[in-house]
């Protein structure tokens, strides 16, 4: 069996070595998940709900340990990592209410009655990226388990540690063998096998658009169900009538959160021309004030990038001579650091303006009026997130409706909330996760006609 050495991105030192599953090991896991699914779906809904609550309690009891693991594996600041562990607990708790509310419908038909059932799709393959190892795992895992599916999760090769521990906590909570398994390994081996194996009935994938396209093609061979959460190039639109102070003060958090390694990063700031200079004056101290450093410190707001090769990719977007307006700091010494960087003015043909950077780099571009702002925001193949700032309620609603994106915030930099649906327009993905309807993605509707004549 091959193994992978996990590096701490803040120190470049090895953390631990993780065995990598092979295609044969993946097949054996799929067989276990298939066998376990029959009993799991037949479990009384109240028992399935109780087991999910017990799982949430285990995560809660080990939240500090999970947070510390994420700090070491992913370089996330400890305050963010604690929030992420709490998110796993909260998402499990939220969906633990679902098994007992998984109701169908009664439809009037001649000659009898028709009832619908929501049947679990079966074994789910959950392919998780390295940027948010805990939350993204929970967004697929919790509703799938609640729906009566069994789950095989494949964390990213770079960041397997919290997922592996969460898998152990599921067993300690009493989830039956085979109901939730975590397989560390390469995407091209374990992930590919989950896509290709006919007994895996649904894939949930979050990651790059390129790999998402390959997975979609692979799923097509089996007409396999699929949810895709892919890239983004989202806009933060600031109108001149907005609270410019607040918009500028929070803009760094809309793009530099998780060092910009966030599919929802609002990495194109669009500012109405008459407020542009004022916005830039206010943005500069906000960016320079972002605390970049040791992720173990409670004061740190931004940690390192995930790997040396990813830092090289990000750096390509800021070549020598790039129009750097201002940038923040990084610590000296080892670690894959990259400073928060603001570019302006930027050509709209520049890769940093058109492509997902997935690092702490943002462009600021002026616009003239509402129509111009909407056209600029929509001038991208992506449509995942976005923010807009204005005091005009009518404009807020008009622009929010016109921007082609799945998730928008008005006068706020927040993005994903587990109570509301999350997913993308255009090339940002397919389907929705989270929110009250998430179980629809893990169930098939069956209708049964019962003759009464
Ligand atoms: P990938 O899309 O390559 O990886 C995401 C997940 O898919 C990982 O678990 C990966 O496994 C797995 N995977 C890779 N190849 C296959 C395959 N053929 N079949 C099944 N699963 C596979 O993202 P990267 O890590 O390479 O990141 C590249 C870029 O993608 C980033 O710079 C960013 O732009 C974007 N990205 C977007 C994310 C988002 O949240 N929308 C998240 C992560 C990346 P493994 O890691 O083991 O190869």
According to the model, what pLDDT value does residue 357 have? Answer: 98
Tell me the best of 128, 207, 233, 234 to mutate to test the pocket of ligand 1, counting ligand atoms within 8 Å of each CB and taking the most: 207
Q: Please give the distance, rounded to the nearest whole angstrom, from the Cα atom of residue 87 to the centre of ligand 1.
A: 22
Q: Whose CA is nearest to atom 27 of ligand 1?
A: 208
Query: Is pTM, for the whole model, over 0.85?
Result: yes
Tell me the best of 135, 195, 208, 308 to mutate to test the pocket of ligand 1, counting ligand atoms within 8 Å of each CB and taking the most: 208
Q: Residues enclosing ligand 1, CB less than 6 A?
A: 127-131, 154, 156-158, 186-188, 191-192, 195, 206-208, 211, 214-215, 229-231, 263, 356, 358
According to the model, what pLDDT value does residue 1 have? Answer: 72
* φ/ψ (deg, to 5) at 91: -70, -40
According to the model, what pLDDT value does residue 182 have? Answer: 98
* φ/ψ (deg, to 5) at 11: -120, -15
Q: Looking at ligand 1, which atom is closest to the CA of residue 210?
A: 2
- Rounded to 5°, angle at Cα 142 from 137 and 143: 120
pLDDT values of the chain reduced to their tens digit, one per residue, 453 residues: 799 999 999 999 999 999 999 999 999 999 999 999 999 999 999 999 999 999 999 999 999 999 999 999 999 999 999 999 999 999 999 999 999 999 999 999 999 999 999 999 999 999 999 999 999 999 999 999 999 999 999 999 999 999 999 999 999 999 999 999 999 999 999 999 999 999 999 999 999 999 999 999 999 999 999 999 999 999 999 999 999 999 999 999 999 999 999 999 999 999 999 999 999 999 999 999 999 999 999 999 999 999 999 999 999 999 999 999 999 999 999 999 999 999 999 999 999 999 999 999 999 999 999 999 999 999 999 999 999 999 999 999 999 999 999 999 999 999 999 999 999 999 999 999 999 999 999 999 999 999 999
Kindly list the strands in the beta sheet with 268-272, ordered across the sheet, starting from the edge strand earlier in the chain: 324-327, 341-343, 361-367, 268-272, 235-238, 386-389, 409-410
Give the long-range contacts of residues 115-118, CB within 8 A, separation 24 or more.
115/447, 115/448, 115/450, 116/445, 116/446, 116/447, 116/448, 117/445, 117/446, 117/447, 117/448, 118/147, 118/439, 118/440, 118/443, 118/444, 118/445, 118/446
Q: Please give the distance, rounded to the nearest whole angstrom, from the Cα atom of residue 25 to the centre of ligand 1.
A: 21
Q: Whose CA is nearest to atom 28 of ligand 1?
A: 208
According to the model, what pLDDT value does residue 306 have? Answer: 98
């Amino acid at each position: 069996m091959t193994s992978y050495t996990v590096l701490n991105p803040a120190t470049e030192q090895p953390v631990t070595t993780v065995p990598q599953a092979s295609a044969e090991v993946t097949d054996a896991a799929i067989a276990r998940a298939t066998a376990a699914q029959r009993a799991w779906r037949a479990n009384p809904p109240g028992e399935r709900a109780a087991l999910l609550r017990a799982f949430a309690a285990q995560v809660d009891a080990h939240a500090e340990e999970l947070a510390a693991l994420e700090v070491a594996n992913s370089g996330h600041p400890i305050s963010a990592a604690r929030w992420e562990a709490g998110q796993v607990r909260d998402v499990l708790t939220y969906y633990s209410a679902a098994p007992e509310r998984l109701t169908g419908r009664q439809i009037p038909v001649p000659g009898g009655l028709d009832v619908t059932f929501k049947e679990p799709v079966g074994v789910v393959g959950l392919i998780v990226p390295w940027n948010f190892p805990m939350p993204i795992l929970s967004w697929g895992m919790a509703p799938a388990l609640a729906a009566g599916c069994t789950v095989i999760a494949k964390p990213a090769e770079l960041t397997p540690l919290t997922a592996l521990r969460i898998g152990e906590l599921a067993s300690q909570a009493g989830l039956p063998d085979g109901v939730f398994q975590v397989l560390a390994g390469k995407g091209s081996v374990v992930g590919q096998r989950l896509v290709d194996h006919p007994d895996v009935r649904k894939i949930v994938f979050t990651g790059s658009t390129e790999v998402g396209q390959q997975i979609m093609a692979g799923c097509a061979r089996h007409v396999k169900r699929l949810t895709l959460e892919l890239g983004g190039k989202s806009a933060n639109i600031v109108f001149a009538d907005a609270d410019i102070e607040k918009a500028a003060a929070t803009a760094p958090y809309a793009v530099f959160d998780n060092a910009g390694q966030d599919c929802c990063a609002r990495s194109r700031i669009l500012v109405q021309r008459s407020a542009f200079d004022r916005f830039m004056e206010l943005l500069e101290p906000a960016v320079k004030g972002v605390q970049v450093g040791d992720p173990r410190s409670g004061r740190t707001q931004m940690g390192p990038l995930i790997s040396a090769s990813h830092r090289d990719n990000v750096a390509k977007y800021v070549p020598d001579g790039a129009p750097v307006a201002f940038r923040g700091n990084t610590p000296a010494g080892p670690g894959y650091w990259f400073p928060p960087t603001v570019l302006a003015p930027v050509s709209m043909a520049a890769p940093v303006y058109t492509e997902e950077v997935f690092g702490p780099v943002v462009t600021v571009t002026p616009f003239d009026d509402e129509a111009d702002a909407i056209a600029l925001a929509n001038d991208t193949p992506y449509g995942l997130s976005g923010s807009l700032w204005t005091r005009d309620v009518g404009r807020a609603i008009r622009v929010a409706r016109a921007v082609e994106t799945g998730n928008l915030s008005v006068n706020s930099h927040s993005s994903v909330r587990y109570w509301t649906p999350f997913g993308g327009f255009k090339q940002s993905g397919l389907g929705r996760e989270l929110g009250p309807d998430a179980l629809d993605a893990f169930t098939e509707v069956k209708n049964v006609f019962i003759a009464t004549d």
